[in-house]
Amino acid sequence: MTLRIGIIGTGAIGTDHARRINRVLSGAEVTAVTDVNRDSAEACVAGVAPGAQILGSAEEVIAASDAVLVCSWGTAHETQVLAAIAAGKPCFCEKPLATEAYGARRIVEAEEAMGRRLVQVGFMRRYDRGYVALKETVRTRLGPPLMIHAAHRNPSVPGRYRTPMAIHDTLIHEIDVLRWLLDDEYVSAQVIFPRATRHTHAGLRDPQIVLLETAKGVRIDVEIFVNCRYGYDIQCEVVGEEGTARLPEPTAIPTRLGAVFGQPILMDWKDRFIDSYDVELQDFLKAAAQGTAAGPSAWDGYAAAITADVCVQAQERPGAILPVTLPARPALYA
């Protein structure tokens, strides 16, 4: 059976996921799309989804599909995901699950009321080969993890990017993937600001350092530096009792040329985890064919949203250590 997939929001990632489903993955076809900007929907259909009909609303797409992808702007996610749950349709939601933690909480409650998992959140780093190998090394060889040193660096960001976006748009991936990597929960967050780069502006404090502490006592430092100039660079080193392990660098050809030993660094974030998007969506399609969802859950989206909210509060009180408090995990997400 070919799964009929609806896409809500056909911008950059919505169209890329449509391409992926129709041309790379198996078991599904994009059959319906919608976008508040009709030109965007038409471009998506013309480019990568010739068999899809363009519908006027998210609700119509949900009704016409076996499963849906929510790829609209973050502010629209909560309503659209709730509509998919109400219709009993598996739903892949790009991050963030909701722009505020209480919105994510409503999604968790709606899913619990349905009694089965229907939502997968687009935390694709959990599907990255490097992170999967790192997690396995941490679990089997490193002894108990003690510390993580991580960095998330972008060459530059658009002028509209402001200080809180360093948490909601950038750190959000580390918030999720490090919690998954350690199989642990955050208990506190702190933000400190080093000397600012001259490449930033009044609305963006850059770089920043976020310090997280977990329930098992692991200390995590994440440098966020979104005007680093030199490349898109994701670093993660786990320090355990028996040794350390690092996230592998992306594959690139090292050269010895002109008296220089060199290795290229990626510039575009889209290239860094490109393979993991294929794996995460195939995982979604596999579970959706059974009428359910797997992978990062609404609970994970909620936990990330709570932590992100505390980190933004910590940005407003540099140096203060603020508690991160998660409610008890419902049985559905055990």
Site for ligand NAI, rule CB under 6 A: 8-14, 34-37, 40, 58, 71-74, 76, 94-95, 122, 124
Q: How far is the CB of 149 from ligand NAI (least distance, A)?
A: 22
Alpha helices in 35-73 (DSSP H): 38-48, 58-64
Q: How far is the CB of 256 from ligand NAI (least distance, A)?
A: 34
**CB-nearer residue toward ligand NAI: 72 or 315:** 72
Q: How far is the CB of 13 from ligand NAI (least distance, A)?
A: 4
- Residues near 250 by beta carbon (within 8 Å), at least 6 away in sequence: 130, 266, 271, 272
**CB-nearer residue toward ligand NAI: 70 or 134:** 70
Residue 27 DSSP code:
S
Q: How far is the CB of 224 from ligand NAI (least distance, A)?
A: 15
Using CB positions, name the residue nearest to ligand NAI.
Answer: 11
Count Cβ atoms below 10 Å from residue 30 Cβ, excluding itself: 28
**CB-nearer residue toward ligand NAI: 34 or 307:** 34
**CB-nearer residue toward ligand NAI: 11 or 164:** 11
The token duo for 309 is: 């909210």
**CB-nearer residue toward ligand NAI: 122 or 250:** 122
Name which of 318, 307, 302, 148 is nearest 240 in CA terms. Answer: 148
Q: How far is the CB of 35 from ligand NAI (least distance, A)?
A: 4
Alpha helices in the chain (DSSP H): 12-19, 38-48, 58-64, 74-86, 101-114, 129-140, 165, 172-182, 269-272, 274-288, 298-316
Q: How far is the CB of 213 from ligand NAI (least distance, A)?
A: 26
**CB-nearer residue toward ligand NAI: 130 or 145:** 130
Distance separating alpha carbons of residues 71 and 270, to the nearest angstrom: 16
Count Cβ atoms below 10 Å from residue 260 Cβ, excluding itself: 7
Name which of 91, 88, 66 is nearest 76 in CA terms. Answer: 91
**CB-nearer residue toward ligand NAI: 66 or 94:** 94
Distance in angstroms between the alpha carbons of the first and the last residue of the chain: 30
Q: How far is the CB of 288 from ligand NAI (least distance, A)?
A: 18
Angle between helices 172-182 and 298-316 (to 10 degrees): 120
